Structure 1
Amino acid sequence: MRIARVGPAGQEQVVAAGSDGIWHLIEGDDADLALRTALDRPALDDLPVIEQVDRFGPPLGRIGKIVCIGLNYRDHAAETKAEIPGEPIVFLKTPDTVVGPDDEVLIPRKSTKTDWEVELAVVIGREARYLDSPEQALDHVLGYAVSNDVSEREFQIERGGQWDKGKNCETFNPFGPWLLTADEVADPQQLGLRLWVNGKQWQNGTTADMIFGVAHLVWYLSQFMVLRPGDVINTGTPAGVALGQPDKPYLRAGDVVELEIDGLGKQRQTFGAA
């Protein structure tokens, strides 16, 4: 099932795509309850139809935490001249970085190195605590979505401390347009990821190139933290980021970034100045 939240920012309503691909409204004042209602319904065709979608918001209304994985693609590690990590590199993004897939993204003040990262986002649907093995992990996944892990490389790398300063600027996590439930994804390690800036393609990768796959990540993280329904894992980005290019073509106000993942939809953001 495809689930989304549509409408003006802060006033989104939960919708789901029926068998005909048309969006149907899941009524209810509480977004989480509406989401559960959508998942539990055997059919949507008797619900009101959304004739026009003017804006997709993030597909989740209440995100618990966003756990991000760095250097998780072999080609991305190579382009940045980094060693292949022996264990997943973990950092956090705050949920208030999340915006809709086509919302404006703000380049921070004094930023000269704002970068893009198309990523597969994993949404947790069932609590995962000290899982015994990766084989158990996918049973705890609700679904998948597109994420842009926007990053400011100077803040991240050159300003001391952890990566968080370059990852948590406002609007730095466009998310969506929809959540595709896990039963619709035959193999999360066989998805293509692509990204363009101003019409020029920079990223064209596959989740098959992940160093640590989705199942391993869910299992691994459960050894250090409790993963709860509504948590999101950004699983890393393939080669093609600005940081890895000889001329470092970082983003500027007015640039347009488009990205997509097989079966999960497309995003399009115009970047502006904070």
Structure 2
Amino acid sequence: MKLASLRHGRDGRLVIVSRDLKTMLPVDQLCPTLQMALDSWTIMAPKLQAVSEALNKGEASGAIAYDATRLHSPLPRAYQWCDGSAYLNHVELVRKARNAVMPPEFLHDPLMYQGGSDDFLPPTADIEVADEAYGIDFEGEVAAITGDVPMGASSAEAAKHIRLLMLVNDVSLRNLIPGELAKGFGFFHGKPSTAFAPVAVTPDELGDAWKDNKVMRPLVSILNGKQFGAPDAGTDMQFSLADLVAHAAKTRRLRAGCIVGSGTVSNRDASKGFSCLAEIRMIETIADGKPKTPFMKFGDRIEMEMTGLDGQSIFGRIDQTVVKYTPPS
């Protein structure tokens, strides 16, 4: 089942999207928003699944043409957004570039921060930034949306509460991050509004590409019309999405609609390319003492997409352009 949210009000209007991403059907009379569906998943999921099956067979009335520009992120805002760092190659490169050793506990204790979740960006919306000097970067990730997760859930238990999967552009302002980390209290200004691909999917939609609670497909990033990277999201992933959900729930319950991200998809095989600019800049720094690849400028465009084993887009496409922020008058 594929679900999305039309841009409408603060929380959107729930729509079901066909498997081939050609049609979508508003179902807000059945369930107004995706958050409401998640809150009543055991009741609503079978009803939505029935409509999804009819839509995929071409038997649903009221279907309209799929149009990503009309869609918001599947959850336009969420109760919680927790982002991990499951790809240790990325973590290791970050530390190596500043001559720091990766602590051994990182092999079994995931990194995670709590991001801002009150104002996500639509998948085709501009990325508004006040100053290019902030060091504008994209980060391609995968993420899970959970149901209610009990505190202290094991990874196996957490896996049962993964409701939906998404793609993420976790926009980062790299030049603001070092100063924030130096304060010893984590990210804030360095992590502005995040965007998600237009369609959230139930894990069964991935077929064999959903294995061990990992998405086993390449995440393609295209920067200014040229492929920047296609690392495989299931390769070199130290912690599965279930592991990350369990980590987030170690000392608290997670409520339905909590989003848990994987961190930047990163493979040790650099020939696969990269999911963020920072990673290639770190490799350049390690090799040459300084980076040569610039961060994003106003007018730069980033696209992200993942296709299934059949070549069909799974989540739709993130397609965003960086623009200068103009404050409201």
TM-score normalised by L of structure 1: 0.87
The change in CA–CA distance for 1:196 and 1:18 in structure 2 (over 3 A counts) is closer
Which of 240, 250, 255 aligns to 1:223? It is 250
Give the match's secondary structure for 1:215: helix
Structure 2 portions without partners, runs of 5+ = 97-101, 267-273, 282-290, 308-313
Aligned residue for 2:216? 190
Which of 74, 89, 95 aligns to 2:117? It is 95
Aligned residue for 2:265? 238
The answer to whether the Cα contact below 8 Å between 2:277 and 2:295 also exists between their aligned partners in 1 is yes
The change in CA–CA distance for 1:248 and 1:184 in structure 2 (over 3 A counts) is same
Aligned residue for 1:16? 16
Aligned residue for 2:74? 59
The superposition leaves residues 163-221 of structure 1 with CA deviations (integer Å, 9 ceiling, x where unpaired) of 4224432xx30112111012323322412212121123323212222121112111222
Provide the C-alpha distance between the structure 1 equivalents of 2:172 and 2:198, rounded to a whole number of angstroms: 20
Structure with the bigger percentage of helix: 2
Provide the C-alpha distance between the structure 2 equivalents of 1:205 and 1:243, rounded to a whole number of angstroms: 15
Map 1:123-202 to 2 at 5 A.
123-131=145-153, 133-159=154-180, 160-161=182-183, 162-169=185-192, 172-185=193-206, 186-187=210-211, 188-202=214-228
Give the match's secondary structure for 2:204: helix
Structure with the bigger percentage of strand: 1
The answer to whether the Cα contact below 8 Å between 2:132 and 2:296 also exists between their aligned partners in 1 is no
Report deviation, 1:108: 3.4
The change in CA–CA distance for 1:211 and 1:167 in structure 2 (over 3 A counts) is farther
The answer to whether the Cα contact below 8 Å between 1:112 and 1:250 also exists between their aligned partners in 2 is no
Aligned residue for 1:48? 62
Quick one: which amino acid aligns to residue 323 of structure 2? Answer: G
Quick one: which amino acid aligns to residue 202 of structure 2? Answer: T
**Aligned-pair identity (%):** 22
| Structure 1 residue ranges (4+ consecutive) displaced by more than 3 angstroms after TM superposition | 7-12, 18-21, 32-38, 44-47, 108-112
TM-score normalised by L of structure 2: 0.74
The change in CA–CA distance for 1:96 and 1:109 in structure 2 (over 3 A counts) is farther
Report deviation, 1:125: 1.9
The answer to whether the Cα contact below 8 Å between 2:132 and 2:298 also exists between their aligned partners in 1 is no
The change in CA–CA distance for 1:112 and 1:230 in structure 2 (over 3 A counts) is same
Provide the C-alpha distance between the structure 2 equivalents of 1:198 and 1:61, rounded to a whole number of angstroms: 26
Aligned residue for 2:311? none
Rg comparison, structure with higher value: 2
Aligned residue for 2:310? none
Quick one: which amino acid aligns to residue 30 of structure 1? Answer: P
Aligned residue for 1:108? 130
The superposition leaves residues 54-81 of structure 1 with CA deviations (integer Å, 9 ceiling, x where unpaired) of 42101124411100113x2133234324
Considering only aligned residues, what root-mean-square deviation do their CA atoms show, in Å? Answer: 2.5
Pairing 1:256–2:291 present: no
Provide the C-alpha distance between the structure 2 equivalents of 1:11 and 1:190, rounded to a whole number of angstroms: 30
The answer to whether the Cα contact below 8 Å between 2:77 and 2:118 also exists between their aligned partners in 1 is no
The change in CA–CA distance for 1:271 and 1:151 in structure 2 (over 3 A counts) is same
Provide the C-alpha distance between the structure 1 equivalents of 2:77 and 2:95, rounded to a whole number of angstroms: 37
The answer to whether the Cα contact below 8 Å between 1:195 and 1:204 also exists between their aligned partners in 2 is yes
The superposition leaves residues 121-168 of structure 1 with CA deviations (integer Å, 9 ceiling, x where unpaired) of 11002323211x312221110010111111111211134333422443
The superposition leaves residues 248-273 of structure 1 with CA deviations (integer Å, 9 ceiling, x where unpaired) of 42111110001123322221001111
Equivalences, count: 270
Quick one: which amino acid aligns to residue 139 of structure 1? Answer: K
Report deviation, 1:13: 2.1
The change in CA–CA distance for 1:273 and 1:177 in structure 2 (over 3 A counts) is same
